[in-house]
Amino acid sequence: DAGVIQSPRHEVTEMGQEVTLRCKPISGHDYLFWYRQTMMRGLELLIYFNNNVPIDDSGMPEDRFSAKMPNASFSTLKIQPSEPRDSAVYFCASSLGPGQGTSISSYNEQFFGPGTRLTVL
C-alpha cells in the first residue's frame, strides 16, 4: 500500500483565495482525521470521519473551513477565504476501526500522510 496520500505537498496562495487540500486514506481504513500543525499551537485535530460521515468537527476553527468525504478513498479540506493565519502544515491520517479480525492495538494506530505546507500571503 502507498500509505496516506496528500496533495498538494506545498501550496502558496494569496489572502482571500480558496484553498483545497486533498487526501487519499489507506484502503480499508474506516477513520480519517485532519490535523493542523503550527509552531504556536502544535498538532490540533480539526475534524474526523468514520465511514465517510463527519463525527466531530469541534476543532474546525471557523466557518471558513469545511471538510468533505464523498467516498471511502477521498477527502478534502477547504478554506474559503484563506487568511495569513491559516498558514500551517495540514496532515491527514487514517486508521482502522473495530471490526472483524481487528485487534485493539491495530485500530488505535493512526497513519499519517506527508502533509501539505500551506502559506497564505
Q: Which residues bind another protein (CB under 8 A)?
A: 4, 31, 33, 42-43, 45, 48, 50, 56, 91, 93, 95, 97, 104-105, 107-115
Which residue's CB is nearer to another protein, number 71 or number 103? 103
CB 22 to another protein: min, Å = 15
CB 27 to another protein: min, Å = 18
Q: What is the 3-state secondary structure (H, E, C) of the chain?
A: CCCCEEECCEEEECCCCCEEEEEECCCCCCEEEEEEEECCCEEEEEEEEECCEEEECCCCCCCCEEEEEEECCEEEEEECCCCHHHCEEEEEEEECCCCCCCCHHHHCCCEECCCEEEEEC
Which residue's CB is nearer to another protein, number 48 or number 65? 48
Which residue's CB is nearer to another protein, number 80 or number 108? 108
Which residue's CB is nearer to another protein, number 37 or number 76? 37
